[in-house]
Structures are given as C-alpha cells and as structure tokens.
Amino acid sequence: MRHRYSILFFPLHVFVDFLSLNVAFVGAYWLKFKTLDAVGDPPYASIWILFNLTWLAEILISKPYIFPRQLFKAGHLLKKLLVLTAIHMAIISMYWVAIKGYYYSREHLLITYGLFLTLGATFRIGGLLFLKEYRARGYNNRRYVIAGYGKLAENIRSFYDTHPEMGFSFQGYFDQPNSENEGLLKGHFNELPRYVKEASIDCIYCCMPYIESTQLKRIVDHAEEADYQVKLLVDFRGFFSQGISIEYYDFLPILNLSSEVLADFRINFFKRCFDILFASTVLLLGSPVFIGIALATKFTSKGPVIFTQKRYGRLGKAFTMYKFRSMYTGSELILSGSQHSQGKEDPRITPWGGIMRRTRLDELPQFFNVLLGEMSIVGPRPLAEYDVETLMEEVPIDFQKILTVKPGITSIGQVKFGYAVNLDEMRQRLSYDLLYPERRSFLFDMWIIAQTVKVMIQGRGK
C-alpha cells in the first residue's frame, strides 16, 4: 500500500488542533478563575461549544490541512494558523456583541487564544521537524521520474537531491535516446506505463522543452488509471526578469511574457513628461552655455559645429543623433578608419574636443533628440551601426534587452565606464546598461543624473 501512513496526517492534524483548542479553553478558565467547577455550566458551556463548531466550520470551508510538500514549511503553516485564529476570534467577538455577553471574561478569551496559538505553533513546528528528519532518512517518500532529459530536468532533480527533507526519491529519466543522454536514461517514453506500475511511481515531471505534446498527452491520459500525479515544467527563467502575468480570455488562460514595467503606460507617460520638462529647462536656461560651446568649437578647429550620426534606439529604430563636434573633420581617414575613439591619445580629437568629452559637454545637443522623442534623459546609450552589428553577433540576447527601452543622454554604463574603445569594453559597458531596463524608476533616474553631473564637474569622463 503506497504511503500507508500519509493518510493519517489529516485526521491527526484535526485531532491535535481540536485538542489544543479545548485544552486552551479549559486551561485559560483555570488560570483566570482558579477552578474548573463551572467550566461546563452556563454561560461558558455555550461559548465552549461555539468555539468547537466555529473551528469545525473553518476546517470544512478552508481545508487548511491540505497542501503540497513544497509548501510544508514553518512560515506557511504558522501563517495559516494565525489567519484561522484571527477569523475564529472575529466570529466569537461578533457572537459576544450580538448576545451582549459582557459577562464573559475578556481576559479568559485572550488567554485561550494565546494558549491555543502556543500549542498549535508548537505542534506544527515539532511535527515539521519530525517529518523532515523522518523523510530525510528515506521514509514516507514520493517516488518520481522525469520525462524529457535536459538542463531543466537536471535542475529539478538537483533541487530534490539537496532537499531530502521533502521526501522525493528520484527513479530515473525517460526520453528518446540520443547522443546527449546516452547512458543517463532509465528508459524510452514507451516504457513509462510499465515502469510506473512496477515501481509504484507517484509523480512524473514532464519538461516541456524536451517532450513532445503527443507524449505528454499519453502521460496525462494514463495518470488517473495508474494513480500518479503529472507536474509540468516549463523553462520561463529567461522571462522572469521581465515580468510575467496571466490574462484570462473567458475561460482561456493566456500567459503574457511582455514586461509589465515596459508596458506600464503610467511609467512611460510620466517619464516622457519628465524628459520634456527637463530638456526644455536645460535648453532654455542653458542657451548661453550652448552658444559659448558652439563658438569655442567653431574657432578652435575647422568644420561644422554640430556632428550628426545615425544611431539606433528603442526596438532598433534609426534616428539622427546630434553632438558638438569633438574631432577634426576628415577624422574617419585617420587610424585606418577606426570606428571608436581611442581615448585621450586619439589624434582625431581636438584639444577643445577633449575638454568637452571629459565634461560631457559634447552630449548637450542631444536634448533636442529628447524633445523629438527619439531619446530619453536616462537610458542605455544609443548605438552606432558598427556597434549594433558587433553586439548582435556577439551577445544577441543582451543586445535585444537594451532595445526594449529608449536610449538616453546618460546611462549607468556612461557614468561607470564611459566611451567604449573595443569589443571587450563594449561588453563591459553593456553589462552596466543591462541593469537599467530591470531597475528603472524615477529615483534611479535621479541617481544617474546626479552621478553624471558629478562626472561633468570633476571632468573625469572617459
């Protein structure tokens, strides 16, 4: 008989809770009145009966003793106990007010609930510790197999191997044999029905990336007949950082893998309002500074004041980005057409351009890009065509995450790292900028802006 002792847990739990409730009631009566002579007489007899009936009703309605082993933890058990006790107290209080039973001792009732919580918590924690040790020794185990071999299958097995107190005993992998799982399988998918019966398997974990829908359907259809559970594992780990929500279309559940943060209209709306207000203020109040920088750029080297370049923003949309020119005209012919700045020693950068780069003044015209809606004040730096092609080839997944938000005048990567000279530095700056889509908020934007101002004042921009 499979798990012949598990069936006793429910009635034992019910019995102990009722015993704790009645011991608490009688014990509180003795502590309050120093006698038990009238505990079974009116008026306390009626409220004593109501105590038990109320607890019985809560058990029948909420079924508090039915939960999977994964939730069999102290925090979960104690939380349920507190909730049920709070509901019980509320019902008894309403009864007390309804009958105007002011002759009942409030102190007695409080002591009763205090004792009951103490006894209930002690039983739960003691029972939990006993079961964990009991199961860790190999008793009262659930036998499981995994259908579909792969990384996810190894993870679920590793989880139970490191938590023997949960009482799950691994019996083998089942899959279509191939070179990757050679020597690791217990058998083929077709052998599962026979093995489930012979080995008294309690649960089959089906890993969606590695099992076909037809195989899954056979396992589910056979579950009721063979008396085992089917657990479906789907690898959503790559999507959790973006946020997952479930939408119901009538009775049909739809899993929304779009980022809730990025799809939140209010966040985007208020960020856009802030961008417009901030950019307008800078352009209006900073116009004398803009004019001064433009004159200095014009008279220190030949060429246009404004440098324009094609960049790529949110969702890969191309736009023209504006900067104060910091290099000599024709610089693309120097250093064999290098795509990136070579730092302080780059011969293409003018002396005045070097000052602008260190203080980030060359980026100021991008406030016009902000007003046009092509950029934001804070966000990952917009990428040139060469950078896009390189990152798409080297780190396609990370690059796609960057494209989920508008590029910005300043970013974490710009503050912490600066301009990238080569592929390795591009990756390092990208690792900083990848933090933004997940953590963006008004306070985070304010922190990045403050750090940018600090870099400008200190003139330590790279």
Which pLDDT score, from 0 to 100, does residue 89 have? 93
Q: Do 322 and 306 meet the contact criterion of CB atoms below 8 Å apart?
A: yes
Q: What are the tens digits of pLDDT across the range 369-381?
A: 999 999 999 988 8
For residue 407, what are the contacts with CB-CB under 8 A and spacing of at least 6? Answer: 311, 313, 314, 375, 376, 379, 380, 381, 382, 383
Q: What's the CA gap between 437 and 81, in Å, rounded?
A: 40
Cα distances (angstroms) measured from residue 232 to each of 56, 221, 261, 290? 35, 14, 27, 61
pLDDT average, residue stretch 123-127: 89
**Closest C-alpha among 408, 462, 459 to residue 435:** 408
pLDDT tier for residue 365 given thresholds of 50, 70 and 90:
very high
Q: How far does Cα 360 stand from its chain's mean position?
A: 35
Q: What's the CA gap between 430 and 77, in Å, rounded?
A: 44
pLDDT tier for residue 1 given thresholds of 50, 70 and 90:
very low
Residue 49 has pLDDT above 90, yes or no: yes
Q: What's the CA gap between 277 and 270, in Å, rounded?
A: 11
| End-to-end alpha carbon distance in the chain | 72
Q: What is the CB neighbour count within 10 angstroms for residue 182?
A: 8
Residue entry with tokens 């008294």: 200
Which regions of 382-422 does DSSP assign to beta strands (E)?
A: 383-384, 408-410
Q: Do 159 and 205 meet the contact criterion of CB atoms below 8 Å apart?
A: no
Write out the DSSP string of 211-278. Answer: S-HHHHHHHHHHHHHHT-EEEEE---HHHHTT--EEEEETTEEEEE-S-HHHH-HHHHHHHHHHHHHH
Query: What angle separates helix 287-300 from helix 351-359, to the nearest 10 degrees?
Result: 150
For residue 317, what are the contacts with CB-CB under 8 A and spacing of at least 6? Answer: none
Among the ranges given (75-89, 274-288, 411-425, 430-444), the one the predictor scored with the smallest mean pLDDT = 411-425
Q: What's the CA gap between 363 and 411, in Å, rounded?
A: 12
Q: What's the CA gap between 31 and 291, in Å, rounded?
A: 86
3-state secondary structure of 200: coil
3-state secondary structure of 440: coil
Which pLDDT score, from 0 to 100, does residue 390 have? 73
Residue 442 has pLDDT above 50, yes or no: yes
Which pLDDT score, from 0 to 100, does residue 237 have? 53
Among the ranges given (86-90, 177-181, 384-388), the one the predictor scored with the smallest mean pLDDT = 384-388
Q: What are the tens digits of pLDDT across the range 303-317?
A: 899 999 888 888 778
pLDDT tier for residue 335 given thresholds of 50, 70 and 90:
very low
Residue 263 has pLDDT above 60, yes or no: no
For residue 113, what are the contacts with CB-CB under 8 A and spacing of at least 6? Answer: 24, 85, 88, 89
pLDDT average, residue stretch 231-258: 59
Pick the CATH number of 142-235 from 3.40.50.720, 3.40.50.80, 3.60.21.10, 1.10.760.10: 3.40.50.720
3-state secondary structure of 70: helix
Rg (CA), the chain: 34
**193 vs 459, higher pLDDT:** 193
Binning the chain into helix, strand and coil, the percentages to the nearest 5 are 60, 15, 25
Cα-flanking dihedrals φ and ψ of residue 145, to 5°?
-125, 165
Which pLDDT score, from 0 to 100, does residue 50 have? 94
Q: Do 393 and 362 meet the contact criterion of CB atoms below 8 Å apart?
A: no
Q: What's the CA gap between 95 and 419, in Å, rounded?
A: 72
User: Is pTM beyond 0.75 here?
Assistant: no
Q: What's the CA gap between 460 and 365, in Å, rounded?
A: 20
**Domain assignments of the chain as residue spans, ordered by start:** 6-136, 142-235, 265-458
Cα distances (angstroms) measured from residue 410 to each of 380, 399, 437? 7, 18, 14
For residue 2, what are the contacts with CB-CB under 8 A and spacing of at least 6? Answer: 200, 202, 227
Q: What's the CA gap between 222 and 105, in Å, rounded?
A: 59
